[in-house]
Amino acid sequence: NLAATNIVFVWGEPLMYEQIDEVVASVDKDRSITTLFTNGFFLSEKVESLSRAWLDTIAISIDHYNLKIHDLKRKLPWLSTKIREWLIEAKKYDFTLVMSVCLFEWDYKELPKYMDLAKELGFHEVIIFPAFPSWRLSWKDLEPKEESFWKLKKLIDTYNANPEFPGIYWYSWISSNFSLGCQGGKKYIYISPYGD
Q: Name the helix (H) or strand (E) containing 9.
A: strand 6-9
Q: What is the pLDDT of residue 118?
A: 95
Which pLDDT score, from 0 to 100, does residue 137 have? 53
Angle between helices 43-52 and 79-90 (to 10 degrees): 30
Residue 14 scores a pLDDT above 60: yes
Which pLDDT belongs to residue 58? 92
What kind and span of H or E run contains 113?
helix 111-121
Euclidean distance between the first and final Cα of the chain, in Å?
A: 16
Quote the pLDDT of residue 159. 93
> What is residue 89's predicted lDDT score, i.e. its pLDDT?
82
Whole-number pLDDT of residue 99: 95
Share of the chain above pLDDT 90, in %: 27
| Beta carbons of 71 and 92 less than 8 angstroms apart | no
Question: What digits encode the pLDDT tens for the residues 106-150?
Answer: 677 889 999 999 999 999 999 998 776 555 555 555 555 666 778
At residue 41, the pLDDT reads 83
Provide the whole-model pTM.
0.81
pLDDT reported for residue 142: 53
Predicted local confidence at residue 189, as pLDDT: 65
Contacts 24+ apart (CB under 8 A), 60-64: 60/97, 60/98, 60/99, 60/100, 61/37, 61/100, 61/101, 62/99, 62/100, 62/101, 62/114, 62/117, 63/102
Strand partners, 96: 57
pLDDT at 87: 86
Instruction: Quickly count: other Cβ atoms within 10 Å of residue 127's Cβ.
Output: 22
Distance CA 98, CA 53 (A): 18
The three-class DSSP label of residue 174 is helix
